[in-house]
Amino acid sequence: MTHFRRTLSEPPAEKLLIDARGAVFVEHLIVFLPCMFFFLATLQTIELCTGNLVIKRAASAAARAAVVVLPDDPKNWGGAPIHAFEGARAAAVIEATRMILKADSHFDPGSASVAVTGASGVGPLTATVTARYRCFAGFVNLVCAGSSRELKGVFTQAYHAAGYIHE
């Protein structure tokens, strides 16, 4: 018959069943994870709202730049026709847009696309800007739906070009 000797440091098995040490740590983990997820989801929502404001401001800058650049003298823009969103005129409008997008580090200014419609010299001009927005916490998929999201901003501006002929 073999007898096992217990050392003084080993509690009896019955005591382990009623031991509550470590319960606070387990409860902390149970509460901490949902709270951290909620905090990150809230933070990501705030960041997306900020990105939405930035993309709308970029669309505003694109429309304002187009109103100034498109009716200007063609010799200042490499011969690009008046009211045409192409060549050096388009490059100037796109650069104005990218300067605004650089203000938010979540945007990739190189991914920005700019479209200008209504540049006829009479009536409203509309600028549409789309760009990739990189989310900081891709695992909060309920908010951002992945690691990045495409945001879009639209802005309409009055466009009253001069009626004179450039020489």
Tens of pLDDT, residue by residue over 43-68, are 888 988 999 999 999 999 999 999 98
Q: Return the biggest CA–CA distance within the chain.
A: 116
CB 84 within 8 A of CB 119: yes
Question: pTM here?
Answer: 0.77
Domain assignments of the chain as residue spans, ordered by start: 22-158
Q: For the residues 13-33, what does the mean pLDDT come to?
A: 75
Collapse the DSSP code of 28 into the 3-class scheme (helix H, G, I; strand E, B; otherwise coil) and give the result.
helix
- Identity of residue 149: R
